[in-house]
């Protein structure tokens, strides 16, 4: 299976919501293993969610400053397809994941792409470029899931050289703005958590379906 996707619903905490995401025809789900997140899920529960999903759905594990051993052990035990590295991990961390595919998440601070590009250049030197990168909003002390908008103008400046990994846009996206965001930034994919929730960790199937439909319209319009 390809470890890339176009539409991801993150922060899945139960089988019911996971199946709703599949019914809405999204491409990926995110399972959060960060203990301080309200969307954190235990390993065995995550495994049950993965086993309930169709094979076509990309299963992404979200990790924040976990040890490489813990990340690799969880990836293998749960049956994940992609590792989302969402903390302060250096490029060398990605090189220690072996053949396990990774997506590196960045919190965009003050519209500054330069630190992201420097990070990717180092990954290129080490031979561990991520499959995709994710640009999220920056909020001090938080590692995503805040509902704050990312800087679309800055994200749109992400380079499109052949070696640069595809860009996934996150940060404050919902059914009401995802199509506009896609047209403004032209990312390879989009990601939402709080934008389709009733409360942290519990999704609205109606909002999930609306988000997927709006995202697909946005991608069609941005061709």
Nearest-angstrom CA–CA distance, 63 and 83: 7
Nearest-angstrom CA–CA distance, 92 and 95: 5
| Residue 69 annotated as catalytic | no
> Residue 69, exposed/middle/buried by CB under 10 A (0-12, 13-18, 19+)?
exposed
Query: DSSP character for 81?
Result: S
Sign, Cα dihedral of 108, 173, 103, 213? negative
| Residue 10 annotated as catalytic | yes
C-beta separation of 23 from 54 below 8 A: no
Identified catalytic residue from 17, 27, 81, 136: 136
Other C-beta atoms within 10 Å of 116: how many?
21
C-beta separation of 208 from 19 below 8 A: no
Other C-beta atoms within 10 Å of 1: how many?
11
Identified catalytic residue from 10, 40, 123, 128: 10
Q: What DSSP string runs through 193-207?
A: SGGGEEETTEE-HHH
Q: What angle do CA 39, 147, 120 make, to 5 degrees?
A: 85
Q: Give me the active site residues, please.
A: 10, 136
């Amino acid at each position: 299976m390809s470890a890339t996707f176009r539409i991801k619903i993150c922060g899945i905490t139960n089988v019911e919501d996971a199946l709703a995401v599949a019914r809405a025809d999204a491409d990926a789900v995110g399972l959060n293993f960060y203990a301080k997140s309200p969307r954190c899920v235990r390993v065995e529960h995550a495994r049950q969610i993965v086993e309930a999903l169709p094979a076509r759905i990309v299963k992404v594990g979200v990790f924040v400053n976990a040890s490489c051993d813990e990340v690799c052990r969880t990836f293998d035990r749960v049956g994940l397809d992609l590792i989302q590295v969402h903390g302060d991990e250096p490029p060398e961390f990605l090189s220690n994941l072996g053949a396990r595919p990774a997506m590196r998440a960045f919190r965009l601070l003050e519209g500054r792409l330069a630190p992201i590009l420097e990070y990717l250049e180092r990954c290129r030197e080490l031979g561990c470029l991520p499959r995709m990168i994710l640009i999220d909003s920056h909020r001090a002390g938080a590692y995503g899931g805040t509902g704050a908008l990312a800087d679309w103008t800055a994200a749109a400046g992400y380079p499109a050289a052949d070696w640069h990994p595809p860009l996934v846009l996150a940060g404050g996206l919902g059914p009401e703005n995802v199509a506009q965001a896609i047209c403004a930034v032209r990312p390879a994919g989009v990601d939402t958590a709080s934008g389709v929730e009733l409360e942290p960790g519990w999704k609205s199937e109606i909002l999930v379906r609306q988000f997927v439909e709006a995202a697909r319209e946005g991608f069609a319009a941005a061709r």
